[in-house]
Every structure is written in C-alpha cells, then in structure tokens.
Amino acid sequence: MARMRRINIVIGSELDDRLEREAELRGMSKSALVRECVEERLPPPGIDNGLRRIGALSYLCDDVEPADIDTELYGPLEADK
C-alpha cells in the first residue's frame, strides 16, 4: 500500500454518523471507508476523454425539456400530421 497522508475534511454530523455506522457494519475504519469511496468515485489518473468537461456544463440545460431526436431531425411522422 502507498504511504498515507493525513488530511482534514469537514463533513456534517449526519454524514459522519452514516459513515461511522457503515464502517462499523463493514468492519473497517472510517478512514478506510472514506478512501474506498473516494477511490471508487474519482476517475483514474490521466484519463480524460472530454466527457467530464461536457458533464460540467450540464447545468446550462437544466430548463431544457428532452425531445424525440427523430422528430427533431426529420419532422413529425405522417400519422402525426
């Protein structure tokens, strides 16, 4: 295992309580559970296919309703006219 660094994080009491309960259920320390969760969530180092940047812009489309792509591209079906 790589050498560990000690860091400080600030979390709410409810999240800390959940973390403590989950760590106890899994038979591990809270630190080990935090490391596991962070490792699962973060992308591998050096991997960036551009999708992360696109996802970061998704808030710009919050008020846009989804549409049927075929109707948008080709117009309504004959039966819909």
Identify whether the C-beta of residue 20 lies closer than 8 Å to the C-beta of residue 30: yes
Q: Which CATH architecture has domain 8-46?
A: Orthogonal Bundle (1.10)
Rounded Cα–Cα distance for residues 48 and 31 (Å): 27
**In the numeric block, which tokens belong to residue 77?**
């079906």
Q: What is the pLDDT along the chain (81 residues), one digit of tens a residue?
A: 678 999 999 999 999 999 999 999 999 999 999 999 999 988 777 766 676 677 777 777 777 777 777 787 888 877 655
- Give the dihedral of Cα atoms 58, 60, 63, 66; nearest 10 deg: -50
Rounded Cα–Cα distance for residues 43 and 16 (Å): 24
pTM: 0.55
